[in-house]
Chain A
Amino acid sequence: MNMIMKFNYRYFCLLVLMLSGTSCKKYLDVVPPNVGTIDYAFRSRNEAENYLFTCYSALQQQLNDLNRSPGNTTSSEIIFPLDLPSNPIDITGYTLITGTQNVGNPGLNFWDGSGNGTALFQAIRKCNTMLENIDKPLDLTAAEKKRWIAETKFLKAYYNYSLFRLYGPIPLIDVNLPVEASTAQVKYKRQSVDEVVNYIIALFDQAIPDLPLTIENPAKELGRITKPAAEAIKAEVLMTAASPLFNGNPDYANFKDKSGKALFPAAYDATKWQKALDACKTAIADCQAAGLHLNTNFIPAGGVTNLPDSLKRVLTFQNALTEKWDTNPELIYALSNDWHGQEYCIPRLTQKANQNEGQNPAYFAVPISTTELFYTNKGVPIDEDKTWDYANRNQLRTGDAANFFYIKQGYQTIKAHFDREPRFYGSIGFDGGIWFGDGVLDAKQARFVPARGITAVAGPKNPQKTNITGYWPKKLANYLTVYDDGFNWVTYSMPVMRMGGLYLLYAEALNEVNGPTSEAISYVDQVRARAGLDGVVSSWANYSRTPSKPESKEGLRAIIHQERRIELCFEGQSGWDLRRWKELQSVLSAPLRGWSIQEDQAINYYRARNVEIPVFNTRDYLWPISSTALVVNDNLVQNPFW
């Protein structure tokens, strides 16, 4: 017994010795599970494609989201109720219009990535990472590599542009610093406006030759950047740089960094408009080469009956936005993920819709000022039209047979809703207005919007889910989307740039360079023709109180600006346009108004009341840099007046 014990013990010792020589080392050399390095992301073409998508992500998922794009939220085209007991979305962007912007915790902070803003410098770093590693995947063909490099350079340019139009002068980070870079290295300085623009344009110029003219495999690649799209966005960058906010703006003439370097151009430079004009011209030519044009061909869906020309014109205009991208020749570039938010735009038109109001909150409220932008049916502004009773526009008038397809016959509404251009009826839902679609495809039976008081179907039922002005952004709703017993979305892609917008950019540049030429006017007239309006010259000559307006550069400039605001209304553009034109301050100088939505009598309902008081000062044209960012990097200077 004792012998056996000893024997075993000796073997046991041996075993322990053997094990300790090998497995102990193994124990310490554990490779952590599920832990990769950035090299893993470039092992193969497919992995690298995943990283390319990551580079696209900020552009597609965040930057152009209407609820966080300053182009929409700070424009006052749409207002969002700010006093809901609980908010369905992050409303930071919508609050900024009331003057809540600050340096301690800025809203829509795209510099640091807080306050519902996206960290754009992270997006730029990802693009740089992509460019650093693009040679690694062995199975990536030369042609595809070339295209991906071009796409990544476009994205890098786009993110720098997104920062530029918010902040003006920005640090340019062309190459990633290593993680262990020193304190001195990481403290980038802001570059001047001209340096930033030249850098962005250089990136565009490197990218554009290697981008495809059209997407050959739309089933998988629709939404990837094309040459015409990059050209068009490059044109927008140059338009921004040429515009009054950045081109010789006296407010910023003395804005310098800590070394005394001027960050804004001291004087106005007219050649910037020429560059913008050239870029627009090239972009239009490339778009036409790619088969893009104004979408004037509306084909009614099966089941649509009794559609008159008047309503068809409205739908043709809406269709430029809401038609599916793959069949819509209007879209130069859009976001290939579906736009979500139609339920914020459609009034509740049936009893069943009211039973399901949770799915259909219809928050997006349009202030009266936005509705008054739209022209009369003579194609001129409502306060210029000799034939339109501007002074008495808020007096009651009852819908009649002549307006059967625009306003409910026999329903009392106001004069302002009569005799307006088709884009008004295509963009705005109003009390008494016909809402074609929403499940009823016979135009003669079309639903209308009864919005007065709590008893009306579209009226304010629940304080949490109310349209606070009495106007709905109808344009953002596809006419085939049904909200009745449940919700049936017919989705579309939100445009970043479409032909109508590009034509108006070109017209603007032509007018700035050459003055009111027939060429400039012809591009405005093409956009107006789709909306069923006469040309600028004849409309003004025949109906305006200032018939010679299109003959001066200033007059035509005002016409083009208003045309752009009407045509692109609710598409997240006017917030940017009004900034670069330096017009946002005057647009936001008056209270935003709506109707007395709780009243059920027309005479009481149509008493305008203040819904929101905007606050906008000169400093608000540019975003503030957070105080934390300024402390961490003391080479940065704060934007003027902040």
Chain B
Amino acid sequence: MKIRASYGLVGNDAISDRRFFYASDVNLDAGGYAVFGTNAAYAHGGVSINNYPDPNVTWETSKQANIALELTMFKNLNITAEFYNYNRYNILQQRSYIPTTSGLEAPIYANLGKANSKGIDLSMDYKQNINKSWTISGRGNLTLATDKYTYYEEPNYPEAYRHFVGQPIREGYGLIADRLFVDDAEAQSSPTQIFSAGGKAPRGGDIKYHDLNGDGIIDNRDQTFLGYPQVPEIVYGYGLSVQYKNFDLSAFFQGQARVSFFIDPNQVSPFVPSQEAYVYGNTQLVKQFADDHWSEGNQNLYATYPRLGTTRSDIENNLQASTWWLRDGSFMRLKSAEVGFSLPASVSKALGIKSLRVYFNGLNLITWSSFKLWDPELGGNGFNYPIQKVYNIGVNVNL
């Protein structure tokens, strides 16, 4: 048995894409031009500020504490368990209290945020030769990780559910969808749901959102934290192999749990101009949307896809981040499996080779998930390049 522990400070200077973040950055020939003179003959490009100087900006720091336990039990079982607790501080963050009346041309950042992450890494392996014919081995790993903001500068929202402090760092944020509107009349008599000044009012078959603060208007004040974080809190993998005489069999499973993701309606809504640069024309149609969408003929208030539209502005109501598109991202996958047969040494010797093994294996064979539209590992865009199933048959010869 072995116990190890460590404590330290770790700095991170990759906090911005701007190299000289502390320095003033003024563009002396662009931004706010004006034109004067007869025939608009005399012009200047104007001056704009890209960054205000901030001599106090610094890197973020993490206080990291680890304690790990390594032990061997029953001779064949090795277990490593590691607990960690990181307290990050000086996280660079945009100052949120500066009103637009200050007239600043660039946002102000400061080392403000604080976050805590803690978790456990567990791994174990086990191997035993039961007798001359049988060998089995197994291995597994498990990571539990949680994090949250312990300080986050934000305006003093009157709605408690909008506050970031105490929330996981990568928590989804959006509206709560109740169901679809029954008809245009219901959409009109419900709280206003217009998401841009030129936006269109929703119609029957559009998503009806929950008016969290009860002010009769659905807007950013009704958004809150939704589901599990967008990165899994639990990641695991385990495998087993068995050998019986000349036959061998192994399998490896992996999975994740306590994770959510949003289907990205901007990417997958059919019949609207695609956002992908390489797709000319409209987005393709996912079969499940074709089979179950709201229409005059299928007024299902919980249809997979709401009312179809032909322009983005037409379906703007349904493109908002909301629980309508929130899905459970947990899955377990048979990542790989292999069966093999090795020629007995006596036979291979007779053939004049050292060894020969015939095998059959496959990758990504089975996935168990509550999300059925596409592989949950693709995330919100079902048109991402898919995870492939791979089958191999092989012969391994050593001369």
Q: Is the CB of B36 within 8 A of A223?
A: yes
Q: How far is the CB of A631 from chain B (nearest CB, A)?
A: 4
Q: How far is the CB of B191 from chain A (nearest CB, A)?
A: 12
Given A50-B47, A220-B42, A628-B220, A36:B101 Cβ within 8 A:
no
**Within the assembled complex, what's the spacing in Å between the Cα atoms of A92 and B197?**
6
Asked if B349 is at the interface (CB within 8 A of a chain A CB), the reply is no
For residue A633, CB closer than 8 A to chain B, the reply is: yes
Instruction: Scan residues 118-170 of chain B and give those whose CB is less than 8 A from a CB of chain A.
Output: 155-158
Determine whether B72 belongs to the interface, using a CB cutoff of 8 Å to chain A: no
Nearest-CB distance from B124 to chain A (Å)? 48
CB of B44 within 8 A of chain A? yes
Please state if A40 and B26 are interface contacts (CB–CB under 8 Å).
Answer: yes
A452 at the interface (CB under 8 A from B): no
Contact (Cβ within 8 A) B40 A336: yes
A601 beta carbon closer than 8 Å to chain B: no
Given A41-B26, A186-B98, A219-B41, A122-B47 contact (CB < 8 Å): no
Check: B97 CB closer than 8 A to any chain A CB: yes
Interface segment, one of A109-117, A460-468, A515-523? A109-117
In Å, the complex CA distance between A216 and B311 comes to 53
B214 at the binding interface (Cβ < 8 Å): no
> Which residue of the partner chain A has the closest CB to B102?
A186
With A41-B26, A85-B311, A125-B102 as contacts: A179 and B194 at CB distance below 8 Å: no
Residue of A nearest to B106 (CB): A179
Residues on B with C-beta less than 8 A from A234 are none
Query: A485 at the A/B interface (Cβ < 8 Å)?
Result: no
CA distance A37 to B50 in the complex (A): 10
CA distance A631 to B98 in the complex (A): 11
**A545 interface residue, CB < 8 Å from B?**
no
Asked if A631 and B158 make an inter-chain contact with CB atoms under 8 angstroms apart, the answer reads yes
Determine if A218 is an interface residue (Cβ-Cβ < 8 Å): yes
Judge whether A631 and B156 touch: CB under 8 Å.
yes
Cβ distance B256 to chain A, nearest Cβ, rounded Å: 35
Select which of A53, A106, A111, A179 is within 8 A of B34 by beta carbon. Answer: A53
Interface string of A33-55 (1 = CB under 8 A from B): 00111101100000101110110
Set of chain B residues within 8 Å of A102, measured between Cβ atoms: 192, 194, 197, 217, 219
Is there contact, CB below 8 Å, between B26 and A53?
Answer: no
In the complex, whether A368 has a CB less than 8 A from a CB of chain B is: no
Q: Is the CB of A632 within 8 A of B34?
A: no
Question: Are A632 and B105 within 8 A (Cβ)?
Answer: no
Interface pair B105/A122, CB less than 8 Å apart: yes
Say yes or no: A91 contacts B98, CB within 8 Å: no
Neighbouring A residues of B20 by C-beta, 8 Å = 32, 35
Q: Are A223 and B157 in contact (CB under 8 A)?
A: no
Least CB distance from A181 to B in Å reads 8
Question: Is B45 interfacial (CB-CB < 8 Å)?
Answer: yes
A187 touches B38 (CB 8 A): no
Cβ–Cβ contact A50 & B219, under 8 A: no
- The answer on a CB contact under 8 Å between A57 and B46 is yes
> How long is the Cα–Cα vector from A56 to B46 in the complex, in angstroms?
9
From B28, B37, B102, B156, A40 is in contact (CB under 8 Å) with B28
With both beta carbons as reference points, the residue of chain B lying nearest to A187 in the complex is identified as B99
Interface string of B51-83 (1 = CB under 8 A from A): 011100000000000000000000000000000
Chain A residue at minimal CB-CB distance from B199: A100
> Which residue on chain A has the smallest CB distance to residue B157?
A631
CA distance A176 to B101 in the complex (A): 10
Q: Does A629 contact B (CB under 8 A)?
A: yes
- Beyond A54-B47, A173-B103, whether A96 also contacts B28 by CB under 8 A is no
Within B168-220, the residues touching A (CB, 8 Å) are 192, 194-199, 217, 219-220
Smallest distance from the beta carbon of A555 to chain B beta carbons, Å?
39
Q: What DSSP secondary structure best describes chain B's contact surface?
A: loop
Q: Mark A99-133, 1 if CB is under 8 A from B, else 0.
A: 01111111111011101100101111110000000
A139 lies within 8 A of chain B by Cβ? no
Say yes or no: is A627 at the interface (Cβ < 8 Å to chain B): yes
Among residues of A, the one whose C-beta sits closest to the C-beta of B43 is A53
User: With the chains together, A41 CA to B32 CA distance in Å?
Assistant: 13
Nearest residue (CB) in B for A62 is B32
**CA gap between A632 and B98 in the complex, in Å:** 7
Q: Does B23 contact A (CB under 8 A)?
A: yes
Q: Are A60 and B103 in contact (CB under 8 A)?
A: no
In angstroms, Cα B35 to Cα A108, docked, is: 24
Total cross-chain contacts (CB, 8 A): 198
CA distance A109 to B42 in the complex (A): 30
Is there contact, CB below 8 Å, between A633 and B32? no
Contact bitstring B219-235, A, C-beta under 8 A = 1, else 0: 11100000000000000
Compute how far the CA of A636 lies from the CA of B35 in the bound complex, rounded to whole angstroms: 36
Total chain B interface residues with beta-carbon distance under 8 A: 57
B219 near A60: Cβ-Cβ < 8 Å: no
A308 to B283, CA, bound (A): 59
CB distance from A55 to the nearest CB of B (A): 8
The answer to whether B197 and A122 have CB atoms under 8 Å apart is: no
Contact A37 to B26, CB < 8 A, known contacts A51-B47, A100-B198? yes
- Residue contact A96 to B197, C-beta cutoff 8 Å: yes
Determine which of A36, A37, A220, A324 lies in contact with B37 in the assembled complex, contact meaning CB atoms within 8 Å. A220
Q: Is the CB of A36 within 8 A of B25?
A: yes
Q: Is the CB of B46 within 8 A of A37?
A: no
B197 in contact with A179 (CB, 8 Å): no
Given contacts A38-B26, A121-B103, A337-B35, contact A100 B197 (CB under 8 A): yes
Q: A41-B28, A100-B197 are in contact. Are A223 and B37 (CB under 8 A)?
A: yes
Report if B100 contacts A (CB, 8 A): yes
How distant is the Cα of A539 from the Cα of B23 in the complex, in angstroms?
A: 70
The docked-state distance in angstroms from the alpha carbon of A426 to that of B50 is 47
In the complex, the answer to whether B99 meets A629 with C-beta atoms within 8 Å is yes
Encoded as 1 (CB less than 8 Å from any B CB) or 0, chain A from 180 to 213 comes to 0101001110000000000000000000000000
CB atoms of A37 and B108 under 8 A apart = no
Smallest beta-carbon distance A97→chain B, Å: 11
B55 smallest CB distance to A (angstroms): 10
Partner of B44, one of A32, A36, A53, A96: A53
The answer to whether B198 touches A338, judged by C-beta atoms less than 8 angstroms apart, is no
Instruction: Encode contact with A along B310-322: 1 for CB under 8 Å, 0 otherwise.
Output: 0100000000000
A67 → chain B, closest Cβ, in Å? 12
What's the Cα separation between A54 and B40 when bound, in Å?
Answer: 16
Chain B residues near A29 (CB, 8 Å)? none
Residue contact B101 to A56, C-beta cutoff 8 Å? no
Is there contact, CB below 8 Å, between A41 and B47? yes
A220 & B41 in contact (Cβ 8 Å cutoff): yes
Given contacts A58-B32, A104-B221, contact A186 B97 (CB under 8 A): yes
A90 to B199, CA, bound (A): 12
A288 within 8 Å of B (CB atoms) = no
Min CB gap A65→B, angstroms: 14
Q: How far is the CA of A58 from the CA of B46 in the complex (A)?
A: 11
A380–B361 alpha-carbon span in the complex (Å): 93
Q: Is A222 an interface residue (CB 8 A)?
A: yes
Q: A38-B49, A122-B104 are in contact. Are A632 and B196 (CB under 8 A)?
A: no
A562 CB contacts on chain B under 8 angstroms:
none
Task: Determine whether A251 belongs to the interface, using a CB cutoff of 8 Å to chain B.
Answer: no
Q: What residue in chain B is nearest A104 (Cβ atoms)?
A: B219
User: Which A residues are CB-close (under 8 A) to B199?
Assistant: 100
CB distance from A532 to the nearest CB of B (A): 31
Is B26 a contact partner of A218 (Cβ separation < 8 A)? no
Q: Report chain A residues within 8 Å CB of B26.
A: 35-38, 40-41
Residue B96, interface by CB 8 Å? yes
A-B contact pairs, 10 of them (CB 8 A): A36-B25, A51-B46, A125-B102, A125-B104, A188-B101, A219-B42, A627-B219, A632-B96, A632-B99, A636-B99
Taking A40-B28, A219-B38, A337-B35 as known contacts, 4 extra A-B pairs with beta carbons closer than 8 A to each other, sorted by chain A number, are A37-B53, A53-B32, A186-B99, A629-B99
Closest 6 CB pairs of A and B: A107-B197, A104-B219, A125-B103, A57-B32, A54-B46, A53-B34
Chain A residues within CB distance 8 Å of chain B = 32, 35-38, 40-41, 47, 49-51, 53-54, 56-58, 60-61, 82, 85-86, 90-92, 95-96, 100-109, 111-113, 115-116, 119, 121-126, 171, 173, 176-177, 179, 181, 183, 186-188, 218-224, 324-326, 336-338, 627-629, 631-634, 636
